[in-house]
Chains A and B, each alone.
Chain A
């Protein structure tokens, strides 16, 4: 057994980038190869997605959305991970990856139609290389692995990002997919957003042992990092993706963060967690932290910060007005239109009967 552990550890280029506590080392931070514009872009994206997240919650509170699941506090993971990938690399998200999708270029108003009850999947995954949000927990993980196996069979150098929460690692699909990835050496980066809570169940009641150490059991390395440091997330995903691209197989990153908001707008976290915990994590806010660092480095100033805040405000208002003025697609098409590529006659007949039943009503 000891030999297996050593082999896995030797095959891990990420170890050198992080302290044992999962902090990106100063040396690694200075060698990220990002210029000032790229560093500012990370800040800008985090501010944009946080403002959109807040606006979506507002829309839900005003009755414009049926449900909203905030990702408040997890912006560093959303932005850092996406910056580390090529736009041709596919992402297989769970349901809280609105920020990632925004960074990938999917229109946020289109995305919100999902929570407005207008669509189950408002974008073409093939256009954005971004799979539909997966609502049943962990079921998207085998999809990511299958896709990655396919990349390998096609001898392409694409890699796949499979992201999920801490609760997902309890699901059978997660374990099965991790094992498949190890067996087939699939070019996939597993990114666990360990935000401490699966609805109301804390990690201590969810998971025996450690999430990241599970990777070794599946034959590949993993690392636990500070998920509130956008540059740390960037460096980790970048290195794991490079490794996968070179044919070295899967990697598990456990990014430790905190779900600052409720599970969704239907949830009441005061029933199961304390204010103290929230305050402690508030002090580690990923945007405030990164802003301080950028200021210290002389990369942003008050003018840039204000301009980015304005841009985020404008974008949030544009998202709101585009969403609330969107036409409701016709029911026949919405219900029947995309079920089959080659629809059976009986199915078409049912659609026809349904549509004529609506006429004159």
Chain B
């Protein structure tokens, strides 16, 4: 297959899901005629009709609340939340109901909530956030994020097929990454991948930071420093087997995400590595992420977000430790 962007890969994945199962419904703000503000649902309403792909009123809590009701009625809703920073009105429905409805009632909630997330797009406030830790902290949800077009296609297929609710975070700054995809490939939820093999320091990333970690690995290689890049793909459940296999090799780890470091998802990864590999570690596990301040005006986002240099500095520090 020819190379496609991540945006197109997600569009194809939704299209294939809609074709496969009449109970799949796509809805949200501007997802119909417009095809979504990022055009992810482009052409889907035209192809599948306005009962399967429809615009909703501008009300995130009820977009998700209605998804719960539709799931009870036997549908597999795939609602879109337009931007990361707009998910908070839906927080109660996601945390109190989507995540807990099965536990309460025995009725499955096969809902996939798509959310473009992350920064690096020069946007105004509320359009560049990384709220994944809030959801990874909630039992009952599965939380995934792809970093490549191929994974975006395949992981979304798995998410939609999964009988449990999945929050599908799309790294919006990577929507235009292009590669060939294989629609037959399968990516299970809960399996990380080794994005770049190496032996010096494990760099554990997900979503938008994977490509930055790969650039860092490339740069490091020119200085004879070998970075192994792990793309978590799934935050909950978390694939510690793949992480630990890497750390057993490198004895050093750097976790990197865009969300603030304080209570960020990296804290979980770092704590687990520190616990499970305490005797192996040659250096403390480093965490890189956004600053513990609200996401800044766009002019400052490059300073706020982790970049290649900060990854290289953290890797150097890990190698020089002790």
Residues of chain A at the chain B interface (Cβ within 8 Å): 90, 92, 120-121, 124-126, 131-132, 136, 139, 141-151, 153-154, 172-173, 176-177, 179-180, 183, 338-342, 344-347
Contact of B69 among A120, A126, A146 (CB under 8 A): A146
When each residue 72-104 of chain B gets 1 if its CB lies under 8 Å from chain A and 0 otherwise, what string results? Answer: 111100000000000001001100110011111
**In-complex Cβ contact of B70 among A125, A131, A150, A342 (8 A):** A150
Q: A120-B103, A145-B62, A150-B69 are in contact. Are A344 and B57 (CB under 8 A)?
A: no
A125 touches B163 (CB 8 A): no
Docked-complex contact A340 and B190, CB < 8 angstroms? no
Give the B interface residue count (CB, 8 A): 46
- In the bound assembly, the distance between CA atoms of A17 and B61 in angstroms comes to 36
Q: Distance in Å from the Cβ of A91 to the closest Cβ of chain B?
A: 12
**Which chain A residue lies CB-closest to B60?**
A176
Q: What would be 11 A-B contacts, judged by CB atoms less than 8 Å apart?
A: A120-B104, A121-B104, A121-B105, A142-B64, A146-B69, A149-B70, A154-B73, A173-B92, A177-B66, A341-B110, A341-B164
Q: Which of B62, B108, B139 has the most CB of A within 10 A?
A: B62
Instruction: State A151–B73 Cα separation when bound (angstroms).
Output: 7
In chain B between 151 and 206, which residues have their CB closer than 8 angstroms to a CB of chain A?
162-164, 189-190
Against A, the Cβ 8 Å flags (1 = close, 0 = not) of B42-62 are 000000000100001101011
B164: chain A residues at CB < 8 Å are 340-342
Cα A300 to Cα B282 with chains together (Å)? 86
Contacts of B238 in A (CB 8 A): 346
- The CA of A68 and the CA of B117, in the complex, are separated in Å by 43
- The verdict on A339 contacting B102 (CB below 8 Å), with A139-B96, A179-B59, A346-B240 known, is yes
Partner of A139, one of B74, B97, B142: B97
Question: Is B162 a contact partner of A143 (Cβ separation < 8 A)?
Answer: no
Tell me the minimal C-beta distance from A180 to chain B in angstroms: 5
Q: Give the 5 A-B CB pairs with smallest separation, nearest first.
A: A146-B69, A142-B65, A150-B73, A146-B66, A344-B237
A342 to B96, CA, bound (A): 19
Q: In the complex, which residues of chain A have a beta carbon less than 8 angstroms from the beta carbon of B102?
A: 338-341
Cα–Cα, bound, A274→B107 (Å) = 44
Contact A341 B108 (CB under 8 A): yes
Whether B255 is near chain A, meaning CB under 8 Å from some CB there, is no
Question: Which A residues are in CB contact (< 8 Å) with B96?
Answer: 136, 139
- Are A143 and B104 in contact, with the CB atoms below 8 A? no
Query: Which residues of the other chain, A, contact B70 by a CB distance below 8 angstroms?
Result: 146-147, 149-150
Query: Would you give the shortest CB distance from A253 to chain B, in whole angstroms?
Result: 20
Which chain A residue shows the least CB distance to B51?
A: A153
| A342 interface neighbour in B51, B72, B163, Cβ under 8 Å | B163
Whether the pair B57, A180 counts as a contact (CB closer than 8 A) is yes
CA distance A347 to B108 in the complex (A): 17
Q: Which of the residues B65, B72, B140, B240 comes within 8 Å of A141, measured between beta carbons? A: B65
Chain A CB within 8 A of B216 CB: no
Minimum CB–CB distance for B271 against chain A, Å: 14
Report chain B residues within 8 Å CB of A147.
69-70, 72-73
Minimum C-beta distance from B102 to chain A (A)? 6
With A143-B72, A154-B73 known as contacts, the answer to whether A176 contacts B65 (CB < 8 A) is yes
CB-nearest residue of chain A to B96: A136
Distance A152 CA – B121 CA, assembled complex (angstroms) = 40
The smallest C-beta distance from A116 to any residue of chain B, in angstroms, reads 16
Q: Out of B74, B89, B142, which one reaches A172, CB within 8 Å?
A: B89
Q: Which residues of B contact A342 (CB under 8 A)?
A: 162-164
Is there a chain A Cβ closer than 8 Å to B322's Cβ?
Answer: no
A124: B residues at CB distance < 8 A: 105-107
Set of chain A residues within 8 Å of B163, measured between Cβ atoms: 341-342
Which residues from chain A contact B110 at a C-beta distance below 8 Å?
Answer: 341
Contact B69–A142 (Cβ < 8 Å) = yes
- Excluding A121-B105, A173-B62, 13 further A-B contacts by CB distance (< 8 Å) are A121-B104, A126-B107, A142-B62, A142-B64, A143-B72, A146-B73, A149-B66, A177-B66, A179-B62, A180-B57, A180-B62, A180-B66, A338-B104
Q: Kindly state the separation between the CA atoms of A38 and B224 in the bound complex, as whole angstroms.
A: 87
The winner among B66, B93, B164 for most chain A CB atoms within 10 A is B66
Contact in complex: A172, B140 (CB < 8 Å): no
Task: Report chain B residues within 8 Å CB of A177.
Answer: 62, 65-66
Closest-CB distance, A236 to chain B (whole angstroms): 23
Within the assembled complex, what's the spacing in Å between the Cα atoms of A143 and B71? Answer: 9
Q: CB of B229 within 8 A of chain A?
A: no
Determine whether B68 belongs to the interface, using a CB cutoff of 8 Å to chain A.
Answer: yes
Distance between Cα atoms of A144 and B68 in the complex (Å) = 9
Partner of B93, one of A139, A150, A180, A346: A139
Q: Is the CB of B56 within 8 A of A346?
A: no
Residues of chain B contacted by A173 (CB below 8 angstroms)? 61-62, 65, 92-93
The verdict on B67 contacting chain A, using a C-beta distance below 8 Å, is yes
Contact between A347 and B105 (Cβ–Cβ < 8 Å)? Answer: no
**CB pair A344 B142 closer than 8 Å:** yes
| B92 cross-chain contacts in A, Cβ below 8 A | 136, 139, 173
